[in-house]
């Protein structure tokens, strides 16, 4: 019988199945054939921003990147806003996001940081992108991987947003330069606890608390003072959650958090892919893709490779 976490992973993996998102590109990296799905909208301007979106964890599959484009709405948003988008697929269904565990879900020696950097370089060889406006986002396992990329490759990314993920407990890193960071988190997430602790069931490592993640980036980006908080309109009073947008002042690069009070392990305005008792509620007041693009658009890296 599938464990609860495996059932959730299967549901996430099958969302969007059969929906074409861009061209499937293969490239060799670290002895393995990897792939990503590329979206270059018709009429996209030269030196366009590049967005990379990282899927959540779960069973292995060669089309998980494609499903991420559909699930998040970012493939459609690329055409609306005029950016290039890439949706990489992990090697064995899960990203090596810095958790110090060894099980069937995560392989610690997989060079996913190097792979994502290779994807950026490959996209640059196929489309005209602005190297100072490369952004990354991800949910769950992909959200943890987003944090690793922002920390270890702050030279490559201008900004990024992690959904339903904080940072792995025990992971250490010092970013080389300021980078824009946003977290979108549900206070009632049953898999990645808002207050920190074990991730899901079994040997999946642990996450630090949301406040600890914010303190890390506030210090790294030299923020000064306490955050301001803005309550967003409760557009759907029946969704069981409300939204507050927090911003830290005086930062060398923006540090923000969107707190979904009552929200679960779900993408804002995405599907209720499993019953609430397993993953919690979906907030309908905001859209995840709008939160992402509203935060990253306009940000540029102080230097780029």
8-38 pLDDT, tens per residue?
A: 443 444 333 333 367 899 999 999 999 999 9
Residue 304 falls inside a structural domain = no
Confidence of residue 66 (pLDDT cuts 50, 70, 90): confident
Question: Which structural domain range is residue 67 located in?
Answer: 4-296
In a domain, residue 301? The reply is no
State the total domains in the chain: 1
CATH number of the domain where residue 125 is located: 3.40.50.1820
Euclidean distance between CA atoms 197 and 206, whole angstroms: 5
- Count CB neighbours of 199 within 10 A: 26
Query: Does residue 129 form part of some domain?
Result: yes
User: Please, are residues 186 and 166 in contact by the beta-carbon 8 Å criterion?
Assistant: no
Q: What is the pLDDT of residues 130-175, one digit of tens each?
A: 999 999 999 999 999 999 999 999 999 999 999 999 999 999 999 9
Is 13 inside a domain boundary?
yes
Tell me which residue has tokens 């990379």: 52
- In which residue are the tokens 């998980």 written? 64
Structure tokens at 166: 């904080």
SS3 per residue for 195-247 = CCEECCCCCCCEECCHHHHHHHHHHHCCCCCCCEEEECCCCCCCCCCEEEEEE
* pLDDT on residue 305: 45
**pLDDT given for residue 303 in this prediction:** 57
CA gap 19, 70 in Å, rounded: 7
Specify if 302 maps to a domain. no
Q: What is the pLDDT confidence band of residue 62, given thresholds at 50, 70 and 90?
A: low
Asked if residue 198 lies in contact with residue 206, where contact means CB atoms within 8 angstroms, the answer is yes
Q: pLDDT tens, 197-221?
A: 999 877 788 999 999 999 999 999 9
Work out the mean pLDDT of the chain and round it to a whole number: 89
Gap between the Cα atoms of 77 and 54, Å rounded: 16
Residue 287 domain flag: yes
Q: Is residue 280 part of a domain?
A: yes
**Residue 303 domain flag:** no
Distance of CA 128 to the CA centre of its chain: 23
Q: How many CB atoms lie within 10 A of CB 128?
A: 12
Pairwise pLDDT comparison (273 vs 41), residue with the higher score = 41
């Amino acid at each position: 019988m599938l464990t609860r976490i495996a059932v959730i992973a299967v549901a996430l993996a099958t969302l969007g199945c059969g929906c074409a998102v861009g061209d499937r590109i293969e490239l060799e990296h670290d002895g393995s054939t990897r792939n990503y799905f590329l979206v270059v909208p018709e009429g996209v301007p030269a030196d366009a921003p590049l967005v990379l979106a990282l899927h959540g964890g779960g069973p292995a599959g060669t089309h998980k990147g494609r499903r991420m484009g559909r699930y998040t709405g970012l493939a459609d948003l690329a055409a609306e806003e005029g950016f290039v988008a890439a949706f990489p697929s992990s090697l064995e269904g899960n990203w090596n996001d810095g958790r110090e565990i060894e099980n069937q879900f995560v392989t610690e020696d997989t060079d996913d940081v190097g792979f994502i950097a290779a994807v950026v370089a490959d996209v640059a060889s196929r489309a005209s992108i602005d190297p100072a406006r490369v952004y990354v986002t991800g949910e769950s396992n992909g959200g943890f991987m987003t944090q690793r990329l922002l920390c270890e490759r702050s030279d490559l990314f201008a900004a990024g947003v992690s959904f339903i993920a904080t940072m792995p407990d025990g992971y250490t890193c010092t970013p080389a330069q300021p980078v824009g960071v946003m977290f979108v988190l549900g206070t009632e997430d049953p898999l990645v606890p808002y207050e920190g602790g074990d991730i899901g069931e079994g040997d999946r490592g642990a996450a630090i608390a949301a406040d600890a993640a914010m303190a890390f980036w506030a210090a790294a980006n030299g923020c000064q003072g306490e955050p301001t908080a803005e309550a967003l309109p409760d557009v759907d009073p029946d969704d069981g959650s409300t939204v507050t947008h927090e911003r830290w002042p005086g930062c060398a690069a923006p540090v923000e958090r969107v707190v979904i009070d009552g929200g679960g392990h779900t993408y804002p305005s995405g599907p209720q892919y499993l019953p609430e008792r397993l993953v919690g509620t979906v907030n309908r007041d905001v859209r995840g893709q709008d939160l992402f693009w509203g935060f990253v658009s306009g940000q540029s890296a102080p230097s780029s490779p």
